[in-house]
């Protein structure tokens, strides 16, 4: 009969058998098929579930002894039931499979229509019997005020031939391991891996945001095609003091709408897993902008998500999650929005394996026709219901871009973002939000790289000259572009909140103005490590600014700066008029055992003389107008001490002082 829990395939050592359990409330018949590596067409053994013996509630379950399937490596389901969504000729993936294999004859087109896809379908791997992984003394590092998130794509990080990684390990978890010395030199304290859930390798889906499964890592990201390689990467990063955060997609899958393929969920229990629209012509609700929306309010789907999170936390030692299009979690099954108490947040918050993990939300959805924007906490609706979750702050991104670009009317909001966005994360008594909940970023995978923001002109970017790209620019334009990149990074490192930047920004990685290469797997999206040597000065500045932030706890506090910060203009008072492009602030550090910090921002295109308003002497640490290595002072000399008076901030520059 087997057991209805846990879901998925589990090896029972003392019985030398596998237990299988799958949720399908609407199914009328379930079959379990087993295959060998040499024949993915003909099942060596097929088990027909008897609903009187093998079904408890909505869960179908069976226990199969190893001696009945001695050569089997793969398994799949075949499920029938009422409605056109059930396609009993299709081989279906187990939603709880921990590894997935694509046979040599895999064909995406076979997943469409009603015909059999035997031999051409992805298959679930049986759990490996009697093996384990030695985590040794693995311990998750924990960074708070010094948390600096580095967003990277596992494949794109080391796939380029100039990455210094040997071909078999390029674009893999092992490639990330071999770059750990580089990550430590840069100084970041957490990597946020773009989606690594298994997806169809033949679909144009380079970014990975079209998952087929929520447990199995993408097979091509492991040089040896094993789950152990992911675990080895996590263990190595932990030993280096680096946290591992996964960008996870629980709002939709790669099965698309009624015109899309059937790999698993559709053929197992479609309207449990997906939200319906009520429109017979277009039956799938699409709040993700990808064709379907996961029905996150359904208790079976909530269990699936929590089980997936628990697996990655408990078995894979992951330290946190960034949830793609997390506002979908607020949707009720009918598409309405529950801002008060969506049940999945309680499920996640009450799970002991998840309570101390980093939870980061992208607090909006992907379909512009049905906007649901939830940035903020504890405010009037809308707001994101995940209490104390960090949230990607696109308002920070926009405000910083416009201010550094010298747009008019940008200063007031820029100051608010620098302070920690207390308008979205208020620290008044009812809300008691924290500034670290604002995940600050200027760029990410979605959009221009940091260099492209200063090399191509759009509404919120500027090429710093007359032409887009690098062709035909002179040294003066390149110098200005580097200065603007350093200005952006200064803001990111000086702002209260949690900073994040994308891999390659530290050496001016470019995508040549392509802001949406989600389907491009090639040199355009792979890091060009030759640029590291060409722009070593920028890398140096980034690493020094990271070290500066980590060395000054007064910046990234767990509380807002409040009375410890004083705002000034070029004189005593800040000019908040629409034509103002400059201001200064002094952050007093004595309350947290730190030195005072004084910063000048000049986003104007002419030099401005600032009157220093506090202190009897300051050591200049950084001036982005100066060329490397003078842009960041390695060991301050007496000449860098300025007593009272004035300092001229050059055009489009940031100047940083610390108290002597």
- Angstrom distance (rounded) from CA 168 to CA 453: 34
Catalytic residue among 99, 247, 362, 594: 362
End-to-end CA distance of the chain: 75
- Angstrom distance (rounded) from CA 565 to CA 569: 13
- Angstrom distance (rounded) from CA 191 to CA 580: 37
Find residue 55's DSSP bridge partners: 60
Answer yes or no: are the C-beta atoms of 273 and 267 closer than 8 Å.
Answer: no
Residue 618: in which H helix or E strand, if any?
A: strand 618-623
Query: Please, what sign has the CA dihedral across residues 401, 402, 403, 407?
Result: positive
- Angstrom distance (rounded) from CA 524 to CA 452: 13
Residue 68: what are its φ and ψ, rounded to 5°?
A: -85, -20
**Whether residue 338 lies in the annotated active site:** no
Query: Please, what sign has the CA dihedral across residues 473, 476, 478, 481?
Result: negative
- Angstrom distance (rounded) from CA 135 to CA 11: 21
The Cα-based distances of 202 to 104, 105, 108, 275, 519 in angstroms read 12, 12, 7, 26, 11
- Angstrom distance (rounded) from CA 301 to CA 24: 11
- Report strand pairing: 8-12 vs 17-23: antiparallel
Answer yes or no: are the C-beta atoms of 643 and 479 closer than 8 Å.
Answer: no
Nearest CA among 620, 622, 614 for reference residue 658: 620
Provide the Cα torsion 509, 169, 130, 61; round to 10°: 50
- Report strand pairing: 582-587 vs 646-649: unpaired
- Written as six digits, the tokens of 336 are 């309405």
Provide the Cα torsion 610, 616, 617, 623; round to 10°: -20
- Angstrom distance (rounded) from CA 235 to CA 229: 10
Instruction: For the chain, give the number of residues.
Output: 660
Find residue 30's DSSP bridge partners: 79
Residue 566: in which H helix or E strand, if any?
A: strand 565-568
Find residue 322's DSSP bridge partners: 247, 360
Catalytic residue among 151, 247, 269, 324: 324
**Whether residue 521 lies in the annotated active site:** no
The Cα-based distances of 203 to 110, 253, 316, 381 in angstroms read 13, 13, 27, 38
DSSP 28-86: SEEEEEEEBTTBSSS-SEEEE--TTTSEETTEEEEEEEGGGSTT--EEEEEEE-SSTT-
Question: Which residues are part of the catalytic machinery?
Answer: 324, 362
């Amino acid at each position: 009969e087997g057991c209805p829990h846990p879901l998925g395939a589990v090896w029972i050592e003392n019985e030398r058998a596998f237990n299988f359990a799958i949720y399908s409330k609407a199914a009328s018949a379930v079959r379990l098929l087993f295959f060998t590596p040499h024949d993915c067409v003909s099942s060596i053994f097929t088990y027909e579930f008897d609903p009187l013996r093998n079904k408890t509630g909505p869960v179908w379950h069976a226990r199969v002894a190893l001696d009945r399937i001695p050569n089997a490596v793969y398994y799949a389901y075949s499920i029938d039931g009422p409605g056109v969504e059930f396609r009993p000729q299709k081989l279906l993936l187990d939603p709880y499979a921990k590894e997935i294999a694509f046979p040599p004859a895999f064909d995406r087109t076979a997943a469409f229509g009603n015909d059999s896809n035997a031999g051409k379908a992805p298959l679930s791997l049986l759990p490996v019997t009697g093996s384990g992984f030695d985590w040794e003394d693995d311990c998750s590092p924990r960074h708070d005020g010094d948390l600096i998130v580095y967003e990277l794509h596992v494949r794109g990080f080391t796939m380029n031939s100039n990455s210094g990684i040997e071909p078999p390990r390029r674009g893999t978890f092992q490639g990330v391991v071999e770059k750990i010395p580089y990550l430590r030199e840069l100084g970041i304290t957490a990597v946020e891996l773009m989606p690594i859930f298994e997806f169809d390798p033949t679909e144009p889906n380079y970014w990975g945001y079209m998952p087929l499964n929520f447990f199995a890592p993408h097979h091509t990201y492991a040089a040896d095609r094993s789950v152990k390689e992911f675990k080895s990467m996590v263990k190595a990063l932990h030993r280096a003091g680096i946290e591992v955060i996964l960008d996870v997609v629980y709002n939709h899958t790669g099965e698309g709408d009624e015109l899309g393929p059937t790999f698993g969920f559709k053929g197992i229990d479609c309207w449990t897993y997906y939200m319906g629209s009520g429109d017979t012509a277009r039956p799938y609700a699409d709040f993700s902008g990808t064709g379907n929306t996961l029905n996150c309010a359904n208790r079976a789907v909530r269990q699936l998500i929590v089980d997936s999170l628990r697996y990655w936390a408990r078995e894979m030692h992951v330290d946190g999650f960034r949830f793609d299009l997390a506002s979908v979690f607020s949707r009720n099954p009918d598409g309405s929005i529950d801002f008060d108490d969506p049940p999945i947040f309680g499920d996640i918050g009450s799970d002991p394996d998840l309570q101390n993990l980093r939870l980061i939300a992208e607090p909006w959805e992907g379909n512009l026709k049905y906007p649901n924007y939830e940035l903020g906490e504890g405010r009037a609706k809308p707001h994101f219901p995940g209490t104390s979750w960090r949230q990607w702050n696109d308002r920070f991104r926009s405000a910083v871009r416009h201010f550094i670009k010298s747009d008019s009317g940008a200063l007031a909001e820029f100051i608010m973002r620098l302070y920690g966005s207390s308008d979205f994360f208020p620290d008044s008594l009812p809300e008691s939000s924290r500034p670290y909940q604002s995940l600050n970023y200027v760029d990410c995978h979605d959009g221009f790289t940091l260099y492209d923001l200063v090399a191509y002109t759009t509404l919120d970017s500027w090429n710093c000259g007359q032409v887009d790209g690098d062709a035909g620019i002179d040294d003066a334009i390149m110098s200005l572009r580097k200065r603007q990149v350093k200005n952006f990074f200064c803001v990111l490192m000086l702002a209260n909140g949690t900073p994040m930047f994308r891999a390659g920004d530290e050496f001016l990685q470019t995508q040549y103005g392509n802001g949406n290469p989600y389907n491009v797997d090639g040199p355009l999206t792979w890091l060009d490590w030759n640029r590291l040597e060409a722009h070593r000065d920028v890398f140096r500045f980034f690493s020094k600014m990271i070290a500066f932030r980590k060395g000054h706890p007064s910046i990234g506090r767990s509380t807002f700066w409040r009375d410890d910060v004083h705002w000034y203009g070029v004189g005593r008072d800040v000019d908040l008029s629409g034509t103002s492009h400059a201001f200064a602030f002094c952050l007093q550090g004595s309350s947290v055992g730190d030195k005072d910090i004084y910063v000048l921002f000049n986003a104007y295109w002419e030099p401005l003389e600032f009157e220093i308003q506090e202190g009897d002497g300051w050591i200049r640490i950084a001036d982005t107008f100066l060329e490397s290595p003078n842009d960041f002072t390695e060991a301050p000399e007496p000449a860098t001490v300025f007593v009272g008076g004035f300092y001229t901030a050059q055009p489009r520059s940031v100047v940083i002082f610390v108290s002597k």
